[in-house]
Amino acid sequence: MLFPATLKIYNASAGSGKTFFLVKNYLHILLRSPNSDEFKKILALTFTNKASEEMKNRILECIKEFSKKKVKKEYSYLFFFLSKDLKLTNDQLHYRSKKILDEILKDFSSFTISTIDKFTYNIIRSFFSIEKKLEMDTNNFLSEIVKNLLYRLKSSEKWSTILVESSLDKLKEGKNWDLSKELYKLTKMMIDENSFFPLKKIKDYSLYDLIKLKKILIKRTIRFESKCKKQGNTFFNILKKNSIKKESFIHLDLPRFFQKMKMGNIFFNPLNKRLEKYMQSNIFFSKDFRKKNKQIKLIEINKIQSLYYKTISIYDKNISSYIIDKLLLKDINIFSTIHEIEKEFYIIKKEKKIILNAELNKILHEKIIKGLFPKIYEMMGMQYKYYFIDEFQDTSFLQWQNIKFLVENALSENGSAMIVGDPKQSIYRWRGGDVNQFINLFNYKSKNYHTKPKTIDINYRSLEEIVKFNNSFYKYVSKFFDSFIYKNIYEKSEQKIYKKYGGYVELNFFSKKKVYNYKEYIYSNLKKKIEKFVNLNYLLSDIAILVRNNEEGNFLSEKLIKDNFFINTSVSLLIKNHIEIQIIINLFYIISYPFYYKKRIFFIWILLKNKFFIERIDHDFIMKIVFMPLDIFIKKIIENLKYSNSKKSFSINNILYNNKSIYDLSESVIDIFQLLNNKNNVSSIYSFLDFVYRFMKDKGGSIIDFLDYWELKKDKESIIISDNTNAIHVMTIHKSKGLQFPIVIIPFADWKIYSNNKEGGWIKVDPHLYHGISYFYLEIKSYLKYVNKDSKIYSFYEKYLSEVRFDNINLLYVSTTRSIEKLILFSDMDNTKSVSSYIKGFLHEKKIWNEKKQKYSFGNEEK
């Protein structure tokens, strides 16, 4: 009797040795077979290049070591475990390993440990004979589409009219409208996986269909507004008939409510609890008014009360649809350009012979649903029998749908599949990551295979105090989730301690309100911490500083470099921010535009501010040289530099007439102005020279062409930093996932629980009301919290808040679980809307919070 195969699902918390676990299981399959080419039947998929390379290298290192007669100590545990588990002698395991290693080296391309994106791209190229480059720079591509599209649409009479209408609609709302921004937003949405299915439906509609829908929406919104206005007018007619003034009411809530109805100001919820209370009490008017106006009949009061409840009924029944109608009307003109954007996509991609990396999953999915599934997956299914999928919590819906068939096929043919992930480390929802897929797998029922969920709950990474802190802190945090699923994930997140004794956690609180420059203040404290750890004999490379965004990382990296620390950073250190580069670029402008005197003044100001001049330079001297001929101006500048290579001349004629290259010119400026004197600025200068070299190689051209190119690229060009063996790591939390460090410092552990980013999502609507459209894109706005709590929109808003809270707690979880020995946090004690409020609340619950205390610690810092 054949038993169904099992899909193994592992919930692996941070530090639980996930990579080792995957490697061990991979090697188990590899070595149990007498066939040395069994690796060709195994597909291992990860989320990042870094993770795939790490897994590949670890497997190769193990096989290489196992193939030797004497296995190194660090590999011996795994060697003897596999020998016993597979019931092989040491010699048999040596022999198999050697044969496997030889076979892998002969056919390395079949040793498939890849990212999901790379695997998808290879399928598309192999099966559909598409010879196109993979375009990774999506933003530049989208900007080019918008630029071309604007030019084309503005030249069309039909589209000009539609776009003018949109502008007027925005102006009526009192808002400026940047058409390019609106088009870019829609263009970006078109490659966003989260928008794939809703936009697919909208693309089926012609411009005529959308115009027709617009007319339907206008009629419907006007009809509802008219009903509300009618109710408002009726109320004020009752008052007029009975000579009742608004001031006669106990509270003005009721007249205000009907005033909003009368004016059609009904977008926001006009109700409140106090008004409801007074309506139920039947007492609307003040005592004085009731004494003086006993003639007010009960019938009139009943009329007001009846009118109120009838109005509420009309409002509640229609408001949710009304808001969707109004918001859809706001965007329908932009959505009507969708087919024009599609055309532009096609034209540019065809011209450049490219595929966008962001579109890979959609392209493959569309091929599958068009009936090409058998061709692709029969061949792929024959190749692979064993599947490993890592970081499953970050896979998107389409990624899983595209490989699900392969996994299920392998399981139906006595293969195996292992999925590993951790919902608490899901931090890529903005990129399409769907954590619910992983959560749902735990309860998934299939006729063809069993699911076997397990939890790996031992923390092999961190010392005891760090594990204890994270266990108790995240259990406390679990109470703040409205979602039972998210609450349960964190409530049951406790890990077992492997490394007994030791570890140190330090929580530092400062007040932004009481500190003049909070970022500088944090840096000064962070610097003291680094110096202290160095004195405790830690290496700089033992320290990782984790930040929420590139801006924070850029600030800290610049400060650390200025203070003579070596750093190894993944954040963008823009070369345009460095004084040396500003000197070179400004001099290029002065040479290219000799009569642009403002540039000369700015150039002198940079040199003055950074003490390049000798002390006798004064205002009179500056005013005297600013308007001199170009060659004399530059000569005077150089003569008065504090440090310069005066032996070398800087001839303008030589530059203008002897075709001196921009690279040579850059080197001359660096040399004469002695810009390499400060060793800390070497990286920015060499990165700039690399930029110049790339420009000359790809573009060539004059100084003016170079300056135009610089203006286009300067906001993205960053310093190329060598991988120093002893340097502080500065990286974003996203980049740190999967890594570990002896010391982790989180200097700004106070990011908002709910971000200010203009996010949105697709809300399901009744297609009968929207001319067949089933989904509508709703931008998240704070006013949605005032919508009727029983409405679909409010549920949508609440779900969004729940997901954002989960994202931001997950970011905190990832950051606080990277450390091996010491974890240091700096937070703002006053911010009640940031993650720091949870840290503060945790200390309150432990009854150790003190408003006057700034530092809280667990464990011993010196050990």
Distance CA 62, CA 142 (A): 44
pLDDT at 1: 39
pLDDT at 173: 59
In three-state form (DSSP H/G/I as H, E/B as E, the rest C), the secondary structure along 492-503 is CCCCEEEECCCC
pLDDT at 275: 76
Correct CATH for 5-130+363-456 of 3.40.50.300, 3.30.70.940, 1.10.10.10, 3.40.47.10: 3.40.50.300
Correct CATH for 476-573+725-752+813-859 of 3.40.50.300, 3.40.640.10, 3.10.20.740, 3.40.50.1000: 3.40.50.300
Q: Where is 828: in which H helix or E strand?
A: strand 819-828
Map tokens 């009924």 to a residue: 313
pLDDT at 222: 93
Map tokens 């109710």 to a residue: 231
pLDDT at 381: 58
354 strand-pairing partners? 133
Distance CA 161, CA 675 (A): 55
Q: Phi-psi category of 501—alpha, beta or left, where left has phi over 0 and alpha has psi -120 to 50?
A: left
Alpha carbons within 13 angstroms on the beta-carbon side of residue 570 total 15
pLDDT at 37: 92
Map tokens 């500065």 to a residue: 730
Neighbours of 224 (CB within 10 A): 20
Distance CA 118, CA 125 (A): 11
Please give the sequence-ordered ranges of beta strands (E in DSSP) within 128-250, or none if there are none.
Answer: 133-135
Distance CA 667, CA 655 (A): 13
Distance CA 208, CA 215 (A): 11
Map tokens 């089933």 to a residue: 774
Coil, helix or strand at residue 858: strand
334 strand-pairing partners? none
pLDDT at 211: 85
pLDDT at 450: 83
Distance CA 96, CA 94 (A): 6
Q: Under a CB-based contact definition with an 8 Å cutoff, are residues 684 and 580 in contact?
A: yes
CA angle 730, 732, 735 (to 5 degrees): 100
What is the bridge-based pairing of β-strands 567-569 and 728-732? parallel
pLDDT at 579: 86
pLDDT at 651: 61
Tell which residue, 696, 814, 797, has the closest CA to residue 746: 814
Distance CA 718, CA 574 (A): 4
pLDDT at 561: 85
Neighbours of 709 (CB within 10 A): 17
**Regions of the chain short of the pLDDT cut 50:** 1, 647, 657
pLDDT at 175: 57
